[in-house]
């Protein structure tokens, strides 16, 4: 074996080694940043996706029923309170003698009317004090099955009788 055929066993310069290790670290750093960003996005989405179910009389009283968060607010549409405009429908919902004014963008439609139990999804407007609803659910038949059946029974018992 000739001297020229022998492999070169001299150490490589340190600059080349650090450049190679930098190539290995970059994907790890990028993957870590992507995972952290994904975790933050998922946490924010889940925290804003939770709508607490509250009766009108539980606002500011029960844990989770705070005016500064998104809620599903349950009560009965107060008699004589429905005002339908071109842009919004304004009405009051009540439960246990506590009343909240609701502004719903549009017309609730369906069988929505006074003296019916409803669940309104939305948020409180701190300036006006109105509950700004973006979804209204109305009990629509005797076959209705609800997770909070006892609350609906209470609302029906306290509901006024609609005028003909």
Q: Whole-model pTM?
A: 0.59
Residue 153 dihedral angles phi and psi, to the nearest 5°: -60, -40
Rounded Cα gap, residues 141 and 118, in angstroms = 13
C-alpha 124/C-alpha 155 separation (Å) is 21
- Which pLDDT value is given to residue 111? 83
Number of domains in the chain: 2
pLDDT tens digit at each of 164 positions of the chain:
555 677 888 777 665 555 555 567 888 889 999 999 999 988 877 766 667 788 888 888 888 788 888 888 999 999 999 888 888 899 999 999 899 999 998 888 778 888 889 999 999 888 888 999 988 888 765 554 556 677 777 777 777 766 65
Cα 137 to Cα 34, 132, 151: the distances in Å are: 39, 14, 14
Residue of 113, 95, 119 whose CA lies nearest to 162: 113
Residues 6+ apart with CB under 8 A from 163: 79, 114
Residue 109 lies in a domain: yes
Tell me: do 32 and 65 sit in the same domain. Answer: no
Tokens 């994904």 sit on residue = 38
User: Are residues 100 and 33 part of one domain?
Assistant: no
CATH of the domain at 122: 2.40.50.140
The verdict on 20 and 57 lying in the same domain is no
Domain ranges, residue 35: 13-49
């Amino acid at each position: 074996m000739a001297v020229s055929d022998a492999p070169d066993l001299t150490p490589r310069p340190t600059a080349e080694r650090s450049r190679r290790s930098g190539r290995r670290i970059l994907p790890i750093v990028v993957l870590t940043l992507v995972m952290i960003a994904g975790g933050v996005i998922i946490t924010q989405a889940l925290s804003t996706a939770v709508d607490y179910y509250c009766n009108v009389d539980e606002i500011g009283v029960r844990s989770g029923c705070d005016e500064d968060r998104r809620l599903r607010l349950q009560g009965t549409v107060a008699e004589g309170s429905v005002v339908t405009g071109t842009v919004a429908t304004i009405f009051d919902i009540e439960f246990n003698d506590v009343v909240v004014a609701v502004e719903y963008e549009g017309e609730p439609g369906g069988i929505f009317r006074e003296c019916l139990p409803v669940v309104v999804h939305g948020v409180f407007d701190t300036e006006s004090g109105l509950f700004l609803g973006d979804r209204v659910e109305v009990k629509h038949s005797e076959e209705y099955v609800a997770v909070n059946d006892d609350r609906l029974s209470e609302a029906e018992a306290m509901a006024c009788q609609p005028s003909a």
